[in-house]
Structure 1
Amino acid sequence: MEFSDRVKRRMKKLGITAVELAETVGVSKGAVTHWTNGTNEAGGKRLVALAEALQCTALWLSSGMGDEEIGGDESPTDSPSERDYALIPQYSARGSSGKGYLNDHVEIKGGLAFKRDWLKGMSLREENLRVMYNHGDSNWPTLSDEEVLLVDVSKIEPVNGKMYAMYDPDNEVIIKRLIRDMSGGWIIRSDNQDKTRYPDMPISDDGMRGVEIIGRVVWRGGGI
């Protein structure tokens, strides 16, 4: 089943209309229509509110994993439980490790489950996290093409040596490391050592204030 099928399944089981569901969740009837026809998927706080209204677990509603019913019986063969795992919204957006990647249409494509204990140990808050993908090889070998990235959208202040997802002047998403220049200003840098193909981009402090940072890359997941 897709997300839309799971929403309709719960609505039918509970006898809830689209208007009633919209009022309970606090959204427009149009939002519910998008959820039921597959145009969009709920994420973050809306996903939690929707799951509460439909009396099911957010993990099952978003991904189809785990128990459907709240308080359902667990067994050793069950999928990861919502109690132990946080489901982070997985966006179709890509960030380029090159000259930039234009995302003209971005939507939530389910989610990835992360252990809550791990998130706590990393001092990460579930509601601040987004999953996106790397595109290109300008940050190789740190990042590979199509690698999954976890981005903390609450961390938008530049910190020396950290890697960020940000918009370039053409409003395309890039993944770059920010380096504090000893002479003042910043350097937007690719990890790839081929500086002929991926040169450093110096930028002043004033210029850096005009850069829209999406968030800091806090985790990468890929093959070895």
Structure 2
Amino acid sequence: MEDLEEDQAIRDRLSAAIAKTGAKQVADRTGIPLGTLNKYLAKSSGASFANVVKIAEATGTDLGSLAGSNSKFGKIAVGMEGTSSARHDIVRLPRFDARASAGRGLVPVNDMPIGEVAFGRDFLRNLGANPEYCYILEARGDSMWPTIPDGALLIADASKTEVDDGRIYHFNVMDRALVKRARWSLDGKLYLTSDNTAAGYPPEEFTADRIDELRVGGRIMFTGHAPMPLR
């Protein structure tokens, strides 16, 4: 019952924020389809955390207020407003378009962020991440389903560029940005693999002669998404 009440409260606040700015303007600013925004406006559909972030930015609404301090999203998001001590305990992570590439193991300066999201430093540290090196990407596609569904908000740590077997990373291969699980073979080959084996995504193999094509943006430390439907 409590979860339903929290979900309804988020829908109410989303609807009010969209109505204040106008669904058409929010669609233009966020890239969220107008039909989806109209469902949020009518409170007939809940939003993913990624879309809550986009709507907060597009409407000039405080993310913490929009998500709600007691909701499942509010436990992740940290409001932009607060006391000076609260501000000291938060870090604003740059949010990049999913097509952002990485160079030398870091997000390059020529790929400008499209926004910022505030998170608690302790929250990031508890994930094992370095708050000063974290950034945000939005997942695209179903290659990592069910671990990472389409539209999930990802926190990556650019200080973690040593590729460990079995972990998920933001990789860049030439001009392609990928979120894949790393697998090492006994003969030293690196395979970028997808979790959605049923869809038939083949692993990509990297041997010594291809290593210059590969850059590591950072290790994926957190995946935020709305509850997934049954498939």
Give me the TM-score of the superposition, normalised by structure 1.
0.55
Whole-Å separation in 2 of the counterparts to 1:189 and 1:112: 29
Whole-Å separation in 2 of the counterparts to 1:86 and 1:178: 28
Cα distance, 1:134 vs structure 2: 0.7
Q: Which residue of 1 aligns with 2:55?
A: none
Whole-Å separation in 2 of the counterparts to 1:130 and 1:143: 17
Whole-Å separation in 2 of the counterparts to 1:148 and 1:195: 22
Q: Which residue of 1 aligns with 2:222?
A: 219
Residues 108-145 of structure 1 show CA distances to partners (whole Å, capped at 9, x for unaligned) of: 23322222222222332222111111110011001111
* Cα distance change of structure 1 residues 110 and 195 upon mapping to structure 2, 3 Å threshold: closer
SS in 2 for 1:177: strand
Letter in 1 for 2:216: I
Q: For structure 1, list consecutive stretches of 5 or more residues without a partner in the other structure.
A: 1-62, 75-80, 97-104
Is the CA contact (8 Å cut-off) linking 1:94 and 1:135 kept in structure 2?
no
Is the CA contact (8 Å cut-off) linking 1:86 and 1:116 kept in structure 2?
yes
Identify which of 167, 186, 192 aligns with 1:182: 186
SS in 1 for 2:124: helix
Is the CA contact (8 Å cut-off) linking 2:167 and 2:181 kept in structure 1?
yes
* Cα distance change of structure 1 residues 209 and 106 upon mapping to structure 2, 3 Å threshold: closer
Cα distance, 1:195 vs structure 2: 5.7
Identify which of 107, 111, 115 aligns with 2:116: 111
The number of residues matched between the two structures is 142
Give me the TM-score of the superposition, normalised by structure 2.
0.54
Whole-Å separation in 1 of the counterparts to 2:126 and 2:202: 35
Identify which of 204, 208, 215 aligns with 2:207: 204
SS in 2 for 1:212: strand
Structure 1 residue 192 corresponds to structure 2 residue 196 = yes
Whole-Å separation in 1 of the counterparts to 2:79 and 2:149: 29
Is the CA contact (8 Å cut-off) linking 2:99 and 2:176 kept in structure 1?
no
Whole-Å separation in 2 of the counterparts to 1:137 and 1:195: 8
* Cα distance change of structure 1 residues 142 and 194 upon mapping to structure 2, 3 Å threshold: same
Whole-Å separation in 2 of the counterparts to 1:179 and 1:205: 15
SS in 2 for 1:208: helix
Q: Which residue of 1 aligns with 2:89?
A: 84
Cα distance, 1:89 vs structure 2: 1.4
Structure ID, larger Rg: 1
Is the CA contact (8 Å cut-off) linking 2:143 and 2:199 kept in structure 1?
no
Report % sequence identity: 28
For 1:16-31, list aligned pairs within 5 A: none
Letter in 1 for 2:170: A
Letter in 1 for 2:211: M
User: Which is further off, 126-135 or 106-115?
Assistant: 106-115
Whole-Å separation in 1 of the counterparts to 2:97 and 2:187: 38
SS in 2 for 1:194: helix
Identify which of 81, 98, 118 aligns with 1:66: 81
Cα distance, 1:210 vs structure 2: 3.9
Residues 140-182 of structure 1 show CA distances to partners (whole Å, capped at 9, x for unaligned) of: 001111111001111112111111111123x111111110112
Whole-Å separation in 1 of the counterparts to 2:114 and 2:137: 10
Cα distance, 1:192 vs structure 2: 0.6
Q: For structure 2, list consecutive stretches of 5 or more residues without a partner in the other structure.
A: 1-77, 102-109
